[in-house]
Amino acid sequence: MTDKYAVIGNPIAHSKSPQIHQLFAQQTGQDISYESIEASLDGFAATIERLRNQGYKGCNVTVPFKFQALQLATKPSERAQQAQAANTLHFNVGQIIADNSDGAGLIRDIEHNFGIALHDKRVLLVGAGGAASGVAAPLLHSGAVLTIVNRTASKAMELSRLLANPAIRTCSFDEIHSQQFDIIINATSSALQNEKPALSPGIFAHSTLAYEMMYGRETPFMKFAREHGAAIVTDGLGMLVEQAAESFYIWRKVRPETAPVIAALRQF
């Protein structure tokens, strides 16, 4: 029998997750269906209840429900607790198991797809919202030397406090104008306003990886990084596919090949 999965968000029409999971299913021979479902802003819990009653095996969760998804869990993973948010729910004999695959997706894209080991790398994480808090702990676990900067400085400080790691630095945009970083990750939603964070051009070294978490188009941050000498500039499509592969593995215990799926999505 076909096992049912879905991604839930609001809005959700833009989501590439159904396409990605269909490609994973074809490749691995797993008998699953995967659809996108838009929940009303006050209807997330009811949607999860309906899916469980209808025998769905799990779902992905995206903006703005990742925090609620963790609250609904009967069994949250350590990764979800550290991120304070869940993007993957697994419905298992009466339990709602919550996990967060965003951090693993980013790490795998950087380390495996780009071949850059994070250990001892100077990493600047720009942003302190949901995406940044999902990747900060996994970056630390990979051995990155982490600096967090955010437009609203108090949120960067709060994220750092929650991570409770004395090695993390938080600072304002003004304080980092003369430092260089090996990896600069734009985890802000600035591109949605066609803007970039207030970064100084001097932070890019000749070997810097500039990583934009948004995907699908060249953003102002990517253009800025290219113009100021970053060695590699990428969007977050690889992270998107890798976090999906991690979710697929959580549900099916089968790890799909991601490279052909990333390549296929770049064609569309």
CB nearer to ligand NDP: pick between 48 and 125: 125
Concatenate the DSSP letters of all residues of the chain into one string.
Answer: -PEEEEEEESS-TT--HHHHHHHHHHHHT--EEEEEEEPPTT-HHHHHHHHHHTT--EEEE-TT-HHHHHHH-SEE-HHHHHHT--SEEEEETTEEEEE--HHHHHHHIIIIIS----TT-EEEEE--SHHHHHHHHHHHHTT-EEEEE-SSHHHHHHHHHHHT-TT-EEE-GGGGTT--EEEEEE-S-GGGGT------GGGEEEEEEEEESS-SS--HHHHHHHHTT-SEEE-SHHHHHHHHHHHHHHHHS-----HHHHHHHHH-
From the list 75-83, 90-98, 121-129, 252-260, the region that binds ligand NDP by CB under 6 A is 121-129
Residues that bind ligand NDP (rule: CB under 6 A) add up to a total of 27
Residues ≥6 apart with Cβ < 8 Å to 83: 100, 102, 103, 133, 134, 137
Q: Which of residues 1-60 bind ligand NDP (CB under 6 A)?
A: none
107 near ligand NDP, rule: CB under 6 A: no
Among residues 66, 75, 196, 223, the one annotated as catalytic is: 66
Which residue among 148, 213, 230, 265 contacts ligand NDP (CB under 6 A)? 213
Which residue among 215, 221, 224, 251 contacts ligand NDP (CB under 6 A)? 215
Q: Which residue sits closest to ligand NDP, CB atoms considered?
A: 129
Rounded to a whole number of angstroms, the minimum distance from the CB of residue 95 to ligand NDP is 25
State the Cα–Cα distance between residues 220 and 227, nearest whole angstrom.
Answer: 10
CB nearer to ligand NDP: pick between 63 and 254: 63
Q: Which of residues 49-88 bind ligand NDP (CB under 6 A)?
A: 63
From the list 22-30, 41-49, 126-134, 222-230, the region that binds ligand NDP by CB under 6 A is 126-134
Question: Using an 8 Å Cβ cutoff, are 89 and 59 in contact?
Answer: yes
Rounded to a whole number of angstroms, the minimum distance from the CB of residue 221 to ligand NDP is 9
Which residue among 97, 140, 239, 261 contacts ligand NDP (CB under 6 A)? 239
Q: Which of residues 144-203 bind ligand NDP (CB under 6 A)?
A: 150-152, 155, 187-190, 193, 195, 197
CB nearer to ligand NDP: pick between 3 and 18: 18
- 121 is a catalytic site residue: no
Q: Which residues are catalytic?
A: 66
Given the rule CB under 6 A, which residues bind ligand NDP?
63, 102, 105, 127-132, 150-152, 155, 187-190, 193, 195, 197, 213-215, 236, 239-240, 243
